[in-house]
Amino acid sequence: MEMARFDESKHPARDFIEMCNASIGINYAQIDDSFGRGMIEANRDGEPHGLYSKDFELWVGEEDSKMLGFVSLVKKRGGSSKIKALIVNPEARGKGVGSTLYQFAMKQLESSGAR
């Protein structure tokens, strides 16, 4: 699996939103496109309600041009950071995708000096 920054010109928004809906919809009966759209908008515009947020990164795990999952990272102005969301496509579950996304996220945060 390769990791790439989410790019609307390479990663179709509809595919991303459908992956979010399929994953979240397993646990929530009434899910709409707002979660996936919100992730895409935060990646493009920054977090609208993130008064203390310095940076928002959306990383996609992909294989053969298919999105297997994503992880979003928020870096705060005070130096702290967090994983905002980690989603694995239901079709890719049980294959180590979530673990790989998590390990990648932790390395990204550590290398940026996050605490």
The reported pLDDT for the residue numbered 53 is 62
The domains located in the chain, with CATH, are 2-111 (3.40.630.30)
Q: Are 93 and 26 contacting, i.e. CB atoms less than 8 angstroms apart?
A: no
Residue 87 burial by Cβ neighbours in a 10 Å radius (0-12, 13-18, 19+): buried
The reported pLDDT for the residue numbered 105 is 96
Whole-prediction pTM: 0.79
Spatial distance between the Cα atoms of 106 and 36, rounded to a whole number of angstroms: 22
Strand-pairing partners, residue 75, are 55, 81
pLDDT per residue rounded down to tens, the chain (115 residues): 999 999 999 999 999 999 988 888 766 666 678 878 888 888 777 665 555 566 889 999 999 989 999 999 988 777 788 898 999 999 999 999 999 999 999 999 888 877 6
